[in-house]
Every structure is written in structure tokens, then in C-alpha cells.
Structure 1
């Protein structure tokens, strides 16, 4: 259900930056460690966007895979399962390099039409 609050935050950000212009596409980067269900987020975003400049906008989600790095031996690896031990040395002091992103990358808006 946290997709509802994420969708609301994304919508607020996009509406603010759209400055009254109709939004056609929202490009969002979502890290795998955020545990977001893409279909659920798209559903809530669409529902929340009704009667705003984002109504009918397409939500394009880029999933950013989790990537970890061992502080002990500097090995970096893609984390496909939530195991936070270095596969090279077994060390548990690891840092997340990517996978926690949740950001509006960009938006496509309709250009204002000239009435000349």
C-alpha cells in the first residue's frame, strides 16, 4: 500500500514542476530495494492524477537493480536476492551502490500553443 503514498509524492512533484502545463509522460527511476510494485504504483498514480495536469499521463518506470560493494575487499556485485554478505570474502560490511533510488527523472509536457 506504500505505492499510494509514493504515487502522491510523485504527483505533487510533477504538478509543481509542470507549472500548469499538461503532462504527457512522467519518467521515474525506482530502485529494486524500494520494494515498489510497478503495476500498483501506476494504478495509484493514474487514480491520483485525475482532475490534475497529469490526468492521462503515462508513467514510465525504470527499475534500477540493486548493486552492493564490500567495504573490506571492494568487490561490487548485483544483489539479486536480499543477501548482504560479500560473495568474495564473506564480509558483512557492505554499502549500497545503487538500488535505493526513487526519483522523477524527467517529465514531458505539452508546449503552449501560439494564438497568433
Structure 2
């Protein structure tokens, strides 16, 4: 219901980035990940950064905190799915889109 794409995962920073302007480089990794994947930060409000904690945001602080809880739950479900069946099939794109659009699309009708 929250994304139509996999949670983006930005590459870990190299030693030069870590020793340099660390906060800037972290943001750079996030922006570069979104650019490479053609993602819009207003549509995908969460990202994982290699060897770092997750990042979430939203239109206000409450939404950002909510997105953190959502990301945590998604990670938990993914881990449990892998433990139960490492060969579990991915959800169909049509189903992912349906769940997202019914909550966030122009004709949304669920979860307001």
C-alpha cells in the first residue's frame, strides 16, 4: 500500500566519502540512488543506505515517523517470508499497483 517499487537501497559509502563530509555524502548516496532508479522522493518516502540506518521522510514529522514504522514492518515481513520460504514468489505487479492506487491514486477509495 505504500510503494509500487522495491524499497530503494543506496550503495554503501567508500572510505573517502566516510572520511569526508559524511552527512553530505550520505545524502548524495540517497539522491544518486533515486536518480539512477528514476524514483520520485515524493512518491517513495523511504530508503535503505548500505551499512547505515534507514531513512524516511514525509510531508510532516508525523508522516515521517509513520513511514519509519511502515518500513520496519515491511522489513520484518520480508525477513519472515525469507525464513519461511526463500523461494516465495514476488507479488504480481498488478496487485502491488492495485493496493497502492486504491490508497494513493487519483480515484482512491481505501484507507483515507
Q: TM-score normalised by the shorter chain: which range applies?
A: under 0.3
- Between structures 1 and 2, the one with greater strand share: 1
TM-score calculated relative to the size of structure 2 = 0.27
TM-score calculated relative to the size of structure 1 = 0.26
- Between structures 1 and 2, the one with greater helix share: 2
Larger RCO (CA under 8 A, 6+ residues apart): 1
